[in-house]
Amino acid sequence: MENKTLVATLRKQRGWTQERLAEETGLSVRTIQRIERGDDSSLETLGLVANALELSIKELFKSSDDSQKMAEISTYADEQASQLEKRHAENKLFSIFRLAYIFLMVGLASLINLIRGEVLQVVISLLWVFLFLAGLTVSKYIRKTIWKDRLDKKYPLTRNIPLSRRDGTSSSKDDFLWWKNPVARTVGLIFWSVIIPLLFICKYALHLF
């Protein structure tokens, strides 16, 4: 059975070779060639291709005479979108934990001035700086390894999908929220995770002002 796809066109739009697409998907070049010829492929295989191209699986197809196949694709796409939403929510939860760690460390930094003894205060300050930076580094490592592997197993249809890629458009009633704006969200993250901690480091750990 053949199902014509737009994989070849979409691949070329990115300037990718078949070898590059095979590398990005973890599939063989022969498999990519079969897909581009229109040979029947499993939804899992097509899903890997769609993920690599940062598209939904529906966008790989222009049309198909096989209504049953298209129904399966539609079901797959809906399930993938559902898993992507859930994964996005769990990633937000991890970000909340990381932010809580930052606030905790900032709170501990404010207590350094209460320590008696200048030498001990300097030692604790340096220890605090080390623990603060180490904690951020470890949390970043955990997010990219352990946390990512956990979510890949829990939501297999979302593997290698950038969380910035979301199906559909957001509700207009939420457009005014600042965290819906990518620029504002980035500025906010920099402010809370870099600027505020840096000010506390200078104030309570290094005593620069």
Q: What is the mean pLDDT of residues 23-48?
A: 88
Q: pTM, whole model, 2 decimals?
A: 0.60
* The token pair that represents 161 in the structure block: 């999908």
- 32 belongs to a structural domain: yes
Q: Is 123 left (phi over 0), alpha (psi -120 to 50) or beta?
A: alpha
Q: What is the mean pLDDT of residues 160-167?
A: 57
Query: How far apart are the C-alpha atoms of 37 and 55, rounded to whole Å?
Result: 19
Contact 90, 71 (CB under 8 A): no
Res. 3 pLDDT band, cuts 50 70 90: low
Measure Cα distances from 82 to 76, 88, 114, 167 in Å: 10, 10, 50, 10
* The token pair that represents 158 in the structure block: 């979302």
The pLDDT tens digits of the residues spanning 131-157 come to 988 998 999 899 999 999 999 899 988
Task: Share the mean pLDDT of the chain.
Answer: 79
pLDDT higher at 76 or 172: 76
The pLDDT tens digits of the residues spanning 190-206 come to 766 677 667 766 765 56
Strand pairing partners for 61? Answer: 5
Q: Give the total number of structural domains in the chain.
A: 3
The pLDDT tens digits of the residues spanning 99-132 come to 899 889 888 887 877 888 878 888 888 888 889 8
The domain in which residue 100 lies consists of 82-162
- 75 belongs to a structural domain: no
Res. 37 pLDDT band, cuts 50 70 90: confident
Burial class (CB in 10 A: 0-12, 13-18, 19+), 168: exposed
- 169 belongs to a structural domain: no
Query: How far apart are the C-alpha atoms of 207 and 209, rounded to whole Å?
Result: 5
Separate counts of helices (H) and strands (E) for the chain: 9, 0
The last residue of a domain, from among 65, 95, 111:
65
- pLDDT over 60 (residue 60): yes
CA 103 to chain CA centroid, Å, is: 23
- 167 belongs to a structural domain: no
- 70 belongs to a structural domain: no
Which pLDDT score is estimated for 203? 65
Percent of the chain scoring above 90 in pLDDT:
22
